[in-house]
Every structure is written in structure tokens, then in C-alpha cells.
């Protein structure tokens, strides 16, 4: 039997008829971190994270895919992918074997805003990890044979992605809402752009954008922050480079004239990938924090309006969600669901209806409070791992946010009113100027979707 001590029988009587009262709330504070500038121009953010004996190191350079030249789509991600494929002192395989032998990993890559070098390994290998990140960041050699190999691998990857319905849907949506801007392309580039990228373009991109001045190193693990800083200072020496960092081009998509419907035809497909979206706002926009409340209520949690509608009320889908993607430029607002093909039209109408409704009537008091307390309550849950904390510090670095950003965010969520949510919905949701993308059998989709707006049908390979 359970308890060792005698329990008075009265305390066993419980009331099952309603949720139990909570106990006493326990405080949570965002973990403290140190910020230091090194003479080479690199900023270091270091934090202790107790628990397992692992450390994460991430070097972030403002070298993201938004900087791809018009004729060089995929250049940022290809350059970043090649950073660990050979350095002044070691070959690609020597680098990989060195880190993996210690039980760690090394990953390099780029997203829209950032080129990154990340490693995770056991705490006792901190020095080796720090030297590895510095080696890969400052002495990549871009050997011709590795470039040829990476290019072939990338071309194959682009080919493979033509057969993922979810990827086709995301890429078609980006083309529809970002026409004429950098966000219209895939960060991986196209078969044509990648085939044309040579060593000169890669080395030039690296020299321009992968410079330590303006970059940030995040170091998190179960070690004193001062020790993490000292190791960083030892690994990243030297004076700052004289060249100034070029400015990123502004991305200003034109609003759509109405609702545009794009069908990507996959005859005989078992299901339809549905997207509905339009351009949103930069993560640095003053409304961005508050938009997380609007979005969480609308499509950002299981009990959101869109998921309850499409999944629990209608059974159209296994799950539906929405998000405002946070980027330096105006990232997309997207609603996404994989739906039964015969339900694509009704599902799209339900989503449009939810977007219109939330612009017309204030949200109910109860769902407002539920959403608010969910966001506030779940925050410690999102900070359970070394990688979780590193990711938060990355956001501070990439978007130039103040050190107390997350406390400001929580305060913003706590103070937001239903009237402000209505205003946000009116300002930032635009169901009448949106793109709808459906990847599935065109013969079944066309009759369901053609009344919604101007319709085009394309093949996956076009």
C-alpha cells in the first residue's frame, strides 16, 4: 500500500465534480546571463544552465538567406553548409571525426536572418568545442571538391522536396505573397541558381557577412558564465576587421489585390495540404509581442478556434494551426492544415470565417483569460533544456532585443485587453487579401475552390 504515514480519512475525500484548487504558485525567473564584447568585435552571451553535463555553443552571424543576391538564390545556406567542409588546418572528414569522436555534433547552416555554427558536447570538452567553432568560423577553406559535392547534394535535396506536399504548399504560398521580394524564393535555392553558384561567389559571401564584428556567440551549460566567457575570449582573438557590414535590403511585399487561389496539382493524392496566408510584420514591429496572444487564441494551441473548428467540430484534419513567423523582415502569417480532399473547400471557408469573426467581434472574456494564462504559465516549460535557453538568447542577439525582453513580453501579455486584441486583428489579419494554396488533386479541388477567388493551377515541377 501507498503511504508510510497514517492519513486521516477525511483528507481522502475529494470532490471530482470540478477542477481542484491550485496550490501555492512558485516563482520563475528568466535565468541570468552575462554579455561581453570581445576585442575582435564578437559579442558573447553566456549563461549557466544546471542539470545535465552538456554545453551548447552557437555562433550567429547576420548572414541569412535574405541577403541572397537575385541571381544567387541559396547562396547563404550553401556558404554556411560549407563552413565545416574543410579549414586551413583540417579536411571535412577530419573535422567531423574529431567532434563525433568526443560524442558531440557540429551543425552549420542558415535561415532567413542568420548564418550559424552550432555544437553540442559534454561539458568537459568545452575548450575543444570553443576552438572548433572558432576554427570553422574564421578559417574555412572552401575546397573545390567539397563545393562540387555540396552542390550535388543540394540539387538532389531540391529534387526530393518536389515530392513533399507540405513543402510544395509552403513554397507556393511564399511565391504567391512575396512576389518580387527575396522572401519569394526557397532558402535552399533552385536547381538553376545552385548549378550556377561557384567558389568565387561563396568566398565573397563569406568574406562580406561571416565577420566576427556584429556576430554573437551563445554559450550555455552547467558551468560558471565567467568560465564560458574566458574560454570564448581565448578562442576568438585578434583585432576587429576594418570592413563595415553591408546593410540588408528592405523587404516590402505589395498587398494582394484580393483572394488568390493556387492549386498545385497532385493527381490521385490521398489528402490535400492547405495553406492560407499573407505577409505579416517583422519581429521588431511594436505589435509583434501582442500578436502572439491573438495568434495563440486563433490557431496557436490545441484549444484554439481554428483547431477546434477544423479538427474537433468537423473532423476535416488531424490538426490545424496558425502562426506569425518572426523574421527581421515582414514574415508570413500562415494557417496550415492537411485536410481530407473533399473538405478542402469547406475548410478554407471555415478558416476565412474565423479570420473575419475575430476582426468583427471582441474575443470572449473566458477565452482571453485562458489564452493569457496559457502563455504566462507555459513559459517555464519552454526553458527546460540547454538548447531552449540558447534559443532564447539567440533571439536577443539576432533581433537586437533588450536584455529584459522576455520580462517585457510577459508583462505585455499580462496587460493586453480584449479591445486591443480586436484592434490587432483588424490591423494584422486580412482575409480579403490573402493567398490560398491547396496541394492535391486539381480535378477535385477546382470545383470546391474556384468561387473563393482568382484561381491558378500549376504542376509541382513548374
Partner 1 sequence: MSLNPATDLPFTCHQLGNGLRVVLHRDPTLPLVAVDLWYHVGSKNERPGRTGFAHLFEHMLFQGSQHVPTNDHFRYVQLVGGVANGSTWYDRTNYYETLPAHQLDLGLWLESDRMGFLLPAITQENLDTQRQVVINERRQRVENQPYGRASERLHELLYPPDHPYHWPVIGYTDDIAAATLEDVRGFFRTYYAPNNAVLTLAGDFEPAAALERVEAYFGEIPAGPPLPPLAPRISDPPPLGAEQRATLEDDVRLARVYMAFRAPAYGDRLWYAADLLTAVLAGGKSSRLYRDLVYERQIAQDVSAYISPLEAISPLVVVATARAGVEAATLESALRAHLAHAAAAPPTAEEFDGARNRTLTEYYAGLQMLSNRADLFSQFTTYFDDPGGLAGEAERYRRLAVEELLEVGARTFIETEQVTVAVVPAAS
- Given a contact cutoff of 8 angstroms between Cβ atoms, the answer to whether 235 and 133 are in contact is yes
Cβ nearer to partner 1, comparing 37 with 105: 105
Contact flags string 393-412 toward partner 1, x per CB under 8 A? --------------------
Q: What's the closest the beta carbon of residue 106 comes to partner 1, in angstroms?
A: 9
Task: State the CB neighbour count (10 A cutoff) for residue 300.
Answer: 20
Cβ nearer to partner 1, comparing 260 with 363: 363
24 counts as binding partner 1 under rule CB under 8 A? yes
> How many helices and strands (H and E) does the chain possess?
16, 12
Contact flags string 205-244 toward partner 1, x per CB under 8 A? ----------------------------------------
- Candidates 38-46, 89-97, 131-139, 351-359: pick the segment binding partner 1 (CB under 8 A): 89-97
Helix (H) or strand (E) holding 54: strand 54-61
Query: Rg (Cα) of the chain, in Å, rounded?
Result: 25
Cβ nearer to partner 1, comparing 103 with 255: 103
Q: What's the closest the beta carbon of residue 68 comes to partner 1, in angstroms?
A: 23
Distance of CA 131 to the CA centre of its chain: 28
Specify the pairing of strand 43-48 against strand 34-37.
Answer: antiparallel
Contact flags string 288-327 toward partner 1, x per CB under 8 A? -------------xxx----x--xxxxxxxx---------
- CA torsion sign for 377, 378, 383, 388 is negative
462 counts as binding partner 1 under rule CB under 8 A? no
Helix (H) or strand (E) holding 276: strand 272-279
* CA nearest to 283, candidates 249, 251, 328: 328
20 counts as binding partner 1 under rule CB under 8 A? yes
Q: What's the closest the beta carbon of residue 433 comes to partner 1, in angstroms?
A: 29
Total site size for partner 1, rule CB under 8 A: 87
- Given a contact cutoff of 8 angstroms between Cβ atoms, the answer to whether 259 and 453 are in contact is yes
What does the alpha-carbon distance between residue 286 and residue 298 come to, in Å, rounded to a whole number?
20
Touching partner 1, residues 41-60 (CB under 8 A):
50-54
Query: Which residue of 213, 251, 298, 386 would you call a contact of partner 1, by CB under 8 A?
Result: 386
Amino acid at each position: 500500500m501507498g503511504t508510510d504515514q497514517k492519513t486521516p480519512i477525511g483528507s481522502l475525500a475529494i470532490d471530482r465534480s470540478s477542477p481542484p484548487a491550485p496550490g501555492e504558485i512558485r516563482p520563475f525567473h528568466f535565468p541570468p546571463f552575462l554579455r561581453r564584447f570581445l576585442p575582435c568585435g564578437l559579442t558573447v552571451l553566456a549563461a549557466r544552465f544546471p542539470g545535465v553535463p552538456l554545453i551548447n555553443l552557437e555562433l550567429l552571424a547576420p548572414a541569412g538567406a535574405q541577403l541572397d543576391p537575385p541571381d544567387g538564390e541559396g547562396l547563404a545556406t550553401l556558404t554556411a553548409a560549407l563552413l565545416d567542409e574543410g579549414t586551413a588546418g583540417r579536411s571535412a572528414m577530419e573535422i567531423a571525426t574529431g567532434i563525433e569522436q568526443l560524442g558531440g555534433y557540429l551543425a552549420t547552416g542558415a535561415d532567413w536572418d542568420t548564418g550559424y555554427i552550432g555544437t553540442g558536447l559534454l561539458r568537459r570538452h568545452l575548450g575543444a568545442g570553443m576552438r572548433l567553432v572558432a576554427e570553422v568560423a574564421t578559417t574555412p577553406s572552401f575546397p573545390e571538391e567539397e563545393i562540387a559535392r555540396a552542390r550535388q547534394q543540394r540539387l538532389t535535396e531540391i529534387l526530393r522536396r518536389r515530392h513533399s506536399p507540405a513543402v510544395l504548399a509552403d513554397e507556393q504560398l511564399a511565391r504567391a505573397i512575396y512576389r518580387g521580394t527575396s522572401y519569394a524564393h526557397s532558402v535552399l535555392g533552385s536547381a538553376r541558381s545552385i548549378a550556377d553558384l561557384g567558389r568565387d561567389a561563396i568566398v565573397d559571401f563569406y568574406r562580406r557577412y561571416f565577420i566576427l564584428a556584429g556576430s554573437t556567440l551563445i554559450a550555455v551549460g552547467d558551468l560558471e558564465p565567467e568560465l564560458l566567457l574566458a574560454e570564448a575570449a581565448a578562442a576568438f582573438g585578434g583585432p576587429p576587421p576594418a570592413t563595415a557590414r553591408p546593410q540588408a535590403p528592405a523587404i516590402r511585399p505589395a498587398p494582394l489585390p484580393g483572394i488568390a487561389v493556387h492549386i498545385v496539382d497532385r493527381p490521385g493524392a490521398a489528402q490535400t495540404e492547405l495553406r492560407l496566408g499573407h505577409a505579416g510584420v517583422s519581429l521588431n514591429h511594436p505589435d509583434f509581442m501582442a500578436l502572439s496572444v491573438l495568434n495563440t487564441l486563433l490557431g496557436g494551441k490545441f484549444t484554439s478556434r481554428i483547431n477546434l473548428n477544423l479538427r474537433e467540430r468537423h473532423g476535416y484534419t488531424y490538426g490545424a494551426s496558425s502562426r506569425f513567423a518572426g523574421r527581421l523582415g515582414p514574415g508570413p502569417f500562415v494557417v496550415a492544415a492537411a485536410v481530407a480532399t473533399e473538405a478542402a473547400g469547406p475548410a478554407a471557408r471555415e478558416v476565412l470565417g474565423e479570420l473575419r469573426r475575430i476582426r468583427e467581434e471582441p474575443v470572449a472574456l473566458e477565452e482571453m483569460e485562458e489564452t493569457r494564462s496559457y502563455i504566462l504559465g507555459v513559459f517555464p516549460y519552454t526553458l527546460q533544456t540547454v538548447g531552449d535557453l540558447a534559443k532564447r538568447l539567440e533571439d536577443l542577439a539576432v533581433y537586437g532585443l533588450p536584455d529584459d525582453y522576455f520580462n517585457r513580453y510577459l508583462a505585455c501579455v499580462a496587460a493586453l485587453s480584449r479591445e486591443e486584441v480586436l484592434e490587432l486583428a483588424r490591423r494584422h489579419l486580412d482575409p480579403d487579401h490573402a493567398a490560398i494554396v491547396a496541394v492535391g488533386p486539381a480535378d477535385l479541388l477546382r470545383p470546391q475552390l474556384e468561387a473563393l477567388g482568382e484561381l491558378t493551377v500549376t504542376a509541382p515541377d513548374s
